[in-house]
Amino acid sequence: MASHRKPRPGGTIGTGLRAPALATAALTSMAVLSQTAEAAPGTDRAKPTLEEVEKKVDDLYRQAESATQKYNAAKERTGKQRGRVDALREDVARRTARLNKAREELGSFAAAQYRTGAAAPDTATFLLANDPQDYFDQTQLMNRLTSREKSAVDDFIGEQAATMKKRREAAESLQTLSDSQHDLQTAKATVQKKLASARELLSQLTAQEKARLAAIERQKDQEAARKAAELAKQQAAQQQADSSSSSSTATGSGSGSGSTGSGSTGSTTTSSSYDTKAEKAIAFARAQIGKPYVWGATGPDSYDCSGLTQAAWKAAGVTLPRTTYDQVNAGTTVSLADARPGDLIFFYDDISHVGVYIGNGMMIHAPKPGAYVREESIYYGGESIIHSVVRPG
């Protein structure tokens, strides 16, 4: 006999409550898995690769050096402006003393005339006024003054006008000084912020990551040394070619007029003079090797990049401006192939770094915060970052 029981719904197992419970558990598991899958990529993004850390640190150091040059420029402007303000204050003080003396002389004239009755009350008012120019055009009043008194009035008016002008200049200079000091503080804060960020990134590296980073740096140094050696060969070949050409020219002109020989001698003398100065600049820079890079420093115990180049050429008797932005215009621009020892090598589009070329593709420079003055390939950061070569003089 067939059963008349209705089949149970396919979704019901045991009691009717188990299916919803299993469904809820399944949904919960899917949600957890989904969250885990989403979290994993996020975790990876939060942990940058070593190459990304290296690039970020290098960028921060470069930005800090760029801000250092702005700091140096603001500091230089502040110093000059402070000197101008001090000079103007002294000038105003001298002029004020002369103005007071002229006022006293006018006062004595007015008092004498008032006592003798030789002058009307408005004459005394004129002589004692803060702004006698208002009375100057009153011809009937001026006719009552003697030539000596008129001269005293003229001196007073002239001194008063000049003193007021200098006071305005002093006020404007003070405002400019205030602006320069603000720029100085802003640049300083920027440098400190960039350096702190770089230190924070480096502090998060493990010992293994730091070892790998050092290995990457060594590979870069090897490539930079290779490029320097290539440049050295090119320059040596060019010098040999130039030397052969000069010898041929000298031989060919031996039977000619003496004027050509005189011009050649002048050119040789100029070149020799530069080489002598360059040797002194390089000798000074070499003596600074091992001293720390400190932003804004100009020696003698520490340097930033432009502080070192400025001091090096100062030792050779040549005055260079303080910042890389100005040093790049303090000489003749030459090609990299024609670079000679003593030339200045500038880096980056914003011209924020500089070193002293010593030949064979090498330079002496103050690299960056945390580093020391050292001899290094000019390709330390790649060929693309080289901006220009300038020969001081």
Dist CA 151 CA 131 (whole Å)? 16
Dist CA 357 CA 331 (whole Å)? 14
Dist CA 320 CA 313 (whole Å)? 7
Q: Which residue type occupies 350?
A: D
Dist CA 300 CA 294 (whole Å)? 11
* Selected catalytic residue, list 4, 182, 353, 387: 353
Q: CA 356, 362, 368 angle in degrees (round to 5)?
A: 60
Dist CA 69 CA 322 (whole Å)? 9
CA Rg, the chain, in Å? 39
Q: Any idea which residue has 């002496």 for tokens?
A: 364
Residue 284 · residue 315 · CB < 8 Å:
yes
Three-state secondary-structure class, residue 89: helix
- Provide the token pair at 87: 């000079």
Q: Any idea which residue has 């030792």 for tokens?
A: 315
Nearest to 351 by CA among 72, 54, 76, 62: 62
Does 353 participate in catalysis according to the annotation?
A: yes
Dist CA 372 CA 115 (whole Å)? 81
- Residue 377's H or E segment, with its range, is strand 374-377
Does 387 participate in catalysis according to the annotation?
A: no
- For strands 362-365 and 353-359, give the pairing: antiparallel
Nearest to 341 by CA among 320, 361, 358: 358
For the chain, how many residues are written?
393
Q: State the alpha helices, DSSP H only, in the chain.
A: 18-46, 50-116, 121-128, 133-136, 139-142, 147-203, 207-252, 258-287, 305-315, 324-327
Cβ–Cβ contacts within 10 Å for residue 122, how many?
Answer: 13
* Selected catalytic residue, list 4, 182, 305, 387: 305
Does 4 participate in catalysis according to the annotation?
A: no
Dist CA 166 CA 97 (whole Å)? 13
Residues classed as catalytic: 305, 353, 365
